[in-house]
Amino acid sequence: MRIWLAALALVLLYAGYQHERPAQAGNAPQQSAAAAVGVLDNPLLQEAFEQRRSNLLVEGRGVVTRLLADDNDGSRHQRFILRVNPRQTVLVAHNIDLAPRIESLAAGDEVVFSGQYEWSSKGGVLHWTHHDPRGRHPGGWLQHRGRTYQ
Amino acid letter, 42: N
56, 93 contact by CB (below 8 A):
no
Q: Quick one: 144 and 70 in the same domain?
A: yes
Domain housing 118: 39-149
pTM here is: 0.73
pLDDT of residue 128: 96
Give yes or no: residues 57 and 6 share one domain. Answer: no
Helix or strand (DSSP H, E) at 103: none
For residue range 110-130, list pLDDT tens digits in order: 999 999 999 999 999 999 999
Average pLDDT over residues 49-75: 96
Q: Cα separation of 65 and 81, whole Å?
A: 6
Residue pLDDT, tens place only, 2-50: 443 344 343 333 333 333 333 333 333 343 444 444 457 889 999 999 9
Q: What number of other Cβ atoms are within 10 A of residue 117's Cβ?
A: 26
142 and 117 within one domain? yes
Together in a domain, 59 and 125: yes
Q: What is the pLDDT of residues 91-100, one digit of tens each?
A: 999 999 999 9
In this prediction, residue 1 carries a pLDDT of 44
| Residue 104 clears pLDDT 50, i.e. is over it | yes
Average pLDDT over residues 66-91: 96
**pLDDT at residue 117, as a whole number:** 97
Structurally, how many domains does the chain consist of? 2
Which one is predicted more confidently, 133 or 144?
A: 144
Residues 84 and 144 in one domain: yes
Ramachandran bin of 104, using left for φ above 0, alpha for ψ from -120 to 50, beta for the remaining angles: alpha
Q: Do 52 and 106 belong to one domain? A: yes
Q: Are strands 110-118 and 147-149 parallel, antiparallel or unpaired?
A: unpaired
